[in-house]
Structure 1
């Protein structure tokens, strides 16, 4: 499930171990797409997105963004940057306990994340 808060720009990507491993695989193999459940309860976020799209761009840091027209989470960046993001998501999926999460947010000198990225929480639910 991908929840998005339009007023704050915050994102939550939550799923089972299997779902998060699928996302990590997609990030490592970019480009690609992964369906999301836009009919799920958005809770306090406001809306759920329909799809995750991963795009590979040459020599750029990873950008986490939302296309509001298509209700899509867009992950874009170099293969190396996307792989690093995927490695972190995979570690959560494989080593985490249900309820654990990973906060991905830009800070100055972040080594793989672009400053235009939206703050994102990846959460392991089962």
Structure 2
């Protein structure tokens, strides 16, 4: 992947797609849902004990829109959490 592109839409929710031709992860969604996703990503990035975060759509997901591709976000600190 070469980049991430975020776009504001009226919602509801966030949709995560892959633009394979450009090798770009595309995130679209309403501001509130994008803020929840951003908070989750920030928490993973700053978790000092490592780990990973699965972001997968399921019916009635609190912020993901149907059709989102599943992603796994690894901590920059690696390893599994100790807590």
Aligned to 2:7: 55
Q: Deviation per CA, 1:12-48: give whole Å up to 9, x if none.
A: xxxxxxxxxxxxxxxxxxxxxxxxxxxxxxxxxxxxx
Aligned to 2:54: 103
Local SS of the residue matching 1:125: coil
Aligned to 2:16: 64
Consecutive aligned runs of 4 or more in structure 1 exceeding 3 Å deviation? none
- Corresponding residue to 1:81 among 33, 36, 44: 33
Q: Any stretches of 5+ residues in structure 1 without a counterpart?
A: 1-48
With normalisation by structure 1, the TM-score equals 0.57
Distance 1:96 1:83 in 2: 22
Aligned to 1:94: 46
Distance 2:48 2:9 in 1: 30
Local SS of the residue matching 1:59: coil
Distance 2:65 2:7 in 1: 14
The offset of 1:59, in angstroms, is 2.7
Q: Any stretches of 5+ residues in structure 2 without a counterpart?
A: 78-83
Aligned to 1:39: none
The offset of 1:125, in angstroms, is 2.6
